[in-house]
Amino acid sequence: MIIVLIGYMASGKSTIGKKLADKLNYGFIDLDHFIESKENLSVREIFKTKGEIYFRKQEALNLTSILQSNDKIVLSLGGGTPCFGNNMEHILNTQNVKSIYLKNSISSLVKKLYKKKTKRPLISHIETKEAMTEFVAKHLFERVQFYNQSEIHIDTDGKSKKKIVEEVILKLF
């Protein structure tokens, strides 16, 4: 089975994904890191030198390729992956794939993102927590229609990583 973790940036997809993969003895793939290693460039550099359209095409191609695998994989997507092309459709219509939305409140996302905004090109320019809250709320509103299509939803606010992993496993099996 391939377990696909979906959610907004800083929702815990990579952190939970690694822990879940360890617990289940599955492989772990972070799609952004997978693309970076194939391109030998960071996502930021790909956007800068080749453009977002190129990146989104690579994202879709690599996603489709990984979803065809017969391996046991936990796959962490970038926050925008389900929202472009027909990526979400591929996820939902591929056999042996389960999609999980790691759902965070806006305030919890803002709290995490504001601390690490310099590491995220999409939000590095945002000066205040109020502006960050406005940005995240608007962006999440645009994306949540895709995230909500996931087969399983896990509310993560106030839960330990261990508790989230346990909840995912309970809902999967």
Q: Which residues of 94-123 are buried (b: 16+ CB within 10 A; e: fewer)?
A: beebbbbbbbbebebbbebbbeebeeeebb
Residue 58: its H or E element: helix 52-67
Confidence of residue 23 (pLDDT cuts 50, 70, 90): very high
pLDDT category of residue 157 using cuts at 50, 70 and 90: very high
Per-residue model confidence (pLDDT) at position 114: 86
88 within 8 A of 82, measured Cβ to Cβ: yes
Split at pLDDT 50, 70, 90, the class of 119 is confident
> Which residues line the annotated binding site?
10-15, 32, 56, 79, 120, 143
Q: What is the pLDDT of residue 17?
A: 98
Domains and CATH numbers, the chain: 2-104+147-166 (3.40.50.300)
* Sequence ranges of the binding site for substrate: 32, 56, 79, 143
Bind-site residues for ATP: 10-15, 120
3-state DSSP assignment of residue 30: strand
Which range (13-17, 55-59, 123-127) has the least confidence? 123-127
Does the pLDDT of residue 31 top 80, yes or no?
yes
Residue 97 has pLDDT above 80, yes or no: yes
At 100 the pLDDT is 98
Mean pLDDT over 143-164 rounds to 96
Query: What's the pLDDT band for 117 if we cut at 50, 70, 90?
Result: confident
Q: Which two tokens stand for residue 92?
A: 């939902």
The pLDDT value given to residue 123: 83
- Which residue positions form the known binding site for Mg(2+)? 14
pLDDT of residue 120: 76
